[in-house]
Chains A and B, each alone.
Chain A
Amino acid sequence: MQADPLGVLTGSHFIDGDHACCEGAIAAGARFAAGYPITPSTEVVERFANRAPTLGGTFIQMEDELAASIAIQGAVWGGAKAFTVTSGPGFSLMMEHIGYAAMTETPCVFVDVQRGGPSTGLPTLPAQADMMQVKWGSHGDYEIIALCPNSPQECFDLTIKAFNLSEVYRVPVFVMMDEVVGHMTEKVVIPKAEEIEVVPRNFTHKQTDSFLPFQACGEECVPEMVMAGQGYNVHVTGLTHDERGYPNMTPPVQDKLVKRLKHKITDNAEKICLYEESDIDGADVVVVSYGITSRVAQRAIDMAHEKGIKVGKFRIITAWPFPEHKIREIAPKVKALVVPELNLGQMVREVERCVAGKARTIAVPHAGGSVHRPDDIFKAIVEAAR
């Protein structure tokens, strides 16, 4: 389906990542946002508050992130595409409702513009230290999808992708930005509405008496969606439930439900995973990075090429589900993988797990607050190539 032209600001813009993310949401069809101010994410919803009333949209600033993260889900069940935006401390508050969205299969988008932590940390400075939290932060077993843009252009493009994925898989999808990508101003080209692919919500057309709201359908094993007011008398609960949505708190039902929630993502991981790779063949070292760090890493890779080092690049775009199949493919071909991140070692653990000892895994940690110096990554590449 094409994007609604009403929401699409076709043209060339000079805007920052936060603003581009908002435009991506609007282009994807989002017409409801609830938020709470938190640096460095606030501009996303400030722009939405400004734009929404001219597009048939609604914005409400809620009293806290707990309210914002569940208000969007209420709006989804009322028929809207909805999102919320936050950073570290607010993200921590949203954890229970992320689990609720996963359990009730509510399609919605959460944007985390990561900043230095833990706790209040560095409100105005970057980090990439919520990467494990986005996957494991809520209690219980569940899967989510997380995307990492590395430019304002990608903030636009990947936010649309996030909405589309959330509708296909009926899962909360996360856009994991960071303060630099969020606040850097670059050229963002917004295409014409007819060139933007938007996935519509998969509303059921079944009769009310034959519709089971949590019965897996289709190739992806995802139930068809419904909204309040259509006469389906749907029951949605965070308790372990059967295909009717009725609480059924027994081990067999738990097994069936939780495994389906997992498999609908992991079985489709290769379809879902986005990445960028270059110079992998013949490489001695591959640099695995994401977000703003990938841009610094590119500089370090160029420096290494000048020195004749055979180094390849693997940029993670979909961080979760983790691109296991790609790392497993690369590992036996190279001496080492270098993983720079703006944290003290998060995605590198996934890399190491998938490498499974077939090559060295060298972390280039950073406590956050600024981006890496290209030299730090370059030194690690040199060390890895020895």
Chain B
Amino acid sequence: MSTDLVHPGNPVEPFLRTDRMPHIWCPGCGIGTTVNCFSRALLDSKADLSKIAVVSGIGCTGRVAGYVNLDSFHTTHGRAIPFATGLKLANPELTVVVYSGDGDLFAIGGNHLIHAARRNVDLKVVCVNNLIYAMTGGQTAPTTPGDVITSTSPYGTYDPAFNLPYLVEAAGACYVARWTTFHVRQIAKSMAEMFQKKGFGFIEIISPCPTLYQRRNKMGDGLDTMKFYKEVSKTKHGCPTSEVGLTKAGEIIVGKFVDRERPDYDTMMRMHLKQSLGEEYIPAEVPQCSI
């Protein structure tokens, strides 16, 4: 690739596969912004980058795995979380980040999400919620609010949408936060916080999809949407998640909603097996496969 694309001064550059820039996301799409925040969170936490793995599913957000310069796995639709579970259990030294979209994580992947949250598997889940299935052309998602025009709801949606923080908290997540792509500093801070905390962490980031969601609903472009987020978001840390549901044009409650202590799956498993088996227990080592 041309060296015109290399941006040596930008601290985010080492986190990117620069030979694949420019990326495929549309002008005004917020996914790139979230990756920017992610890179900064990694930078600030001074993490050992070789021990970070990113697992994504299918969709626009799923393409994140292909652009980050880390061990990254672009898996099947909805199944990033079980892949990540296997990866984490085989090598608990890794920090495993699941980076995927609302449809991938909550529709086809919904079952896996609730079980991983129930088990409190030590996964850091970043869900970019653009309220639509973007990659395939703008179909209704389980997160699409009411009265929204999509390609599969040409007369407007009428089925109720999931309230993601509420669902994930109920399933057992120990860290739940929501921001919009307008809240760049807060996203980076939440991500850094989530990386430090063991257990199932979840950050929802509301993002524009200017090409499909906003355009079909005559809501302007990416910039208009960012201004809209600025106008209607209210930060309410600790707000009960039952109250943070979204509507087409109403208030967006952001903040850190849940931050609680629960032993993570790997810790519980090892502790329990040690208790049951005593001296006979041989904990799994890393790597499990001889080199």
* Interface positions of A (Cβ within 8 A of B): 1, 4, 6, 29, 31-32, 34, 53-58, 60, 62-64, 66-68, 70-82, 96-97, 100, 200-201, 203, 227-239, 246-247
Contact = CB atoms under 8 A, between A and B. Distances in A.
A237 B72 CA distance: 8
Contact of B65 (A4, A6, A71, A237): A237
Contacts of A72: 86
A73 B65 contact: no
B289 A79 contact: yes
Interface residues of B, number: 49
B240 to A, nearest CB: 28
Given A63-B112, A78-B91, A228-B94, A57 B85 contact: no
Q: Which 8 A-B pairs have the closest CB atoms?
A: A74-B86, A78-B90, A79-B287, A71-B86, A237-B74, A67-B82, A74-B87, A231-B50
Q: Is the interface of B mostly helix, strand, loop or mixed?
A: mixed
Contacts of B285: 56
A75 B286 CA distance: 11
Contacts of B283: 56
A29 B290 contact: yes
Given A67-B115, A78-B94, 13 more contacts: A32-B86, A32-B90, A32-B288, A57-B288, A58-B90, A60-B89, A62-B85, A74-B73, A80-B288, A80-B289, A96-B76, A229-B51, A229-B286
A53 B69 contact: no
Interface of B: 17, 19-20, 50-51, 53, 55, 65-66, 69-76, 78-79, 82-91, 93-94, 111-112, 115, 269, 273, 277, 280-291
Contacts of A96: 76
Nearest to B281: A53
Query: Which of B17, B79, B94, B286 counts the most chain A CB atoms within 10 A?
Result: B79
24 contacts: A56-B288, A58-B288, A62-B82, A63-B111, A66-B79, A66-B82, A68-B82, A71-B86, A74-B90, A76-B86, A77-B71, A77-B73, A78-B287, A79-B286, A79-B287, A80-B287, A81-B289, A97-B79, A229-B50, A229-B53, A229-B94, A238-B74, A246-B17, A246-B19
Contact of B71 (A68, A71, A234, A239): A234
Contacts of A237: 65-66, 73-74
B65 A74 contact: no
